[in-house]
Structure 1
Amino acid sequence: MVDDAYLAAMSVEQYAEQWRHGIARPGSTVLLGLRDGGLHGWAAFGACRDPDVAADVGELWALYVAPEHWSSGAGRALWTQARAQLAAHYRSVRLWVLAGNARALRFYTAVGFVVEMDSVQSFELGGQTLQEIRCVMGLRA
């Protein structure tokens, strides 16, 4: 969904700097999905970054699984661990997903997220305009 030219132009140094910045955020957590000595996926989460949101709302910033491990349970396992850690600190969780990412939207709704259809927002990435939509889930009664 993101332009191939933009992704190809990213340097390892730029990507590593983004990771260093994200991991250094206070309260951030990154989980790695490891199996048979290989990295199959990862999840990153912490406090919600939306403006004017209560302190008891968390956010799943990203959940990625390598395509060769889709439908293997890796994503669900990462989400299960992330949810348990988020529930220890927050009453609900949000995430933003690219509006055209039907596979991700199916996954998130299958694990209990609700799509907020009126939350679509646009952003620019590498000269391309993309849209994302917010999904929400309660973590505690």
Structure 2
Amino acid sequence: MSSIEIRPATLRDAKAIAQIQVAAAQDAYKGFWPDVALNNLSIAQRQAYWREAIQMCEPQLLVAHVDNEPMGFVGFDRSRDRGTPSTTGEIWAVYAAPQHWDKGVGQALVQAARDGLQEEGCTKMTLWTYEDNLRALRFFEAAGFERELDSVKAVNVEGKSLNQLRLQRSVLGG
């Protein structure tokens, strides 16, 4: 397998990004998201969202690829959370296609987001993930993130209340 390359997303990537997000969410969220929510994930809606994000550069969007085949993506920018200092960045979304899980794609994307946030002058980075997404929690903790236990928030997914946790880590260091 060739090495993973990271590049800025272009409008041509929007459909692949949407396909990756939907496939990864349907796999990763199985068991705690309601089936109706998983089945209603729309590639067309996600594609429209990511096209707009790419055009507006909000969030900054990077694609991981091998031989120009998209394998995953990360969106990052300043934190959207109220009351956070301007030196706090946030990973808004990070997904790898399920067939590329456990192959270093996620690690490469998190590192690229860290580098981008550091260039923007951020010293801390955060992200939100579902409390029930144990695979993601293990991945992020292995990447140096720590849970902010006082940051739990409930979100409604098709009538089911699910908790999300904020995780954080320094942008500096390994």
Structure-1-length-normalised TM-score? 0.89
- State the distance in 1 between where 2:36 and 2:124 align: 36
Partner of 1:69: 100
Q: Which moved more, 1:15-24 or 1:79-88?
A: 15-24
Q: Which moved more, 1:4-13 or 1:79-88?
A: 4-13
Q: Equivalent residues in 2 for 1:1-141 (5 A)? A: 1=29, 2-25=33-56, 27-89=58-120, 90-140=122-172
Distance 1:27 1:78, change over 3 A: same
- State the distance in 1 between where 2:58 and 2:95 align: 20
* Structure 2 gaps, min length 5: 1-28
* Structure 1 gaps, min length 5: none
Give the SS at the match of 2:44.
helix
- State the distance in 2 between where 1:69 and 1:56 align: 32
The residue identity in structure 1 corresponding to 2:49 is Q
Task: Looking at secondary structure, tell me which structure has more helix per residue.
Answer: 2
- Considering only aligned residues, what root-mean-square deviation do their CA atoms show, in Å? 1.9
Aligned residues: 141
Give the SS at the match of 1:53.
coil
Q: Is the 8 A contact 1:58 1:92 kept in 2?
A: yes
- State the distance in 1 between where 2:97 and 2:58 align: 25
Task: Looking at secondary structure, tell me which structure has more strand per residue.
Answer: 1
Distance 1:24 1:3, change over 3 A: farther
Q: Is the 8 A contact 1:119 1:134 kept in 2?
A: yes
User: How far 1:67 sits from its partner (Å)?
Assistant: 1.3
User: How far 1:74 sits from its partner (Å)?
Assistant: 0.9
Report sequence identity in percent.
33
User: How far 1:26 sits from its partner (Å)?
Assistant: 5.2
Structure-2-length-normalised TM-score? 0.73
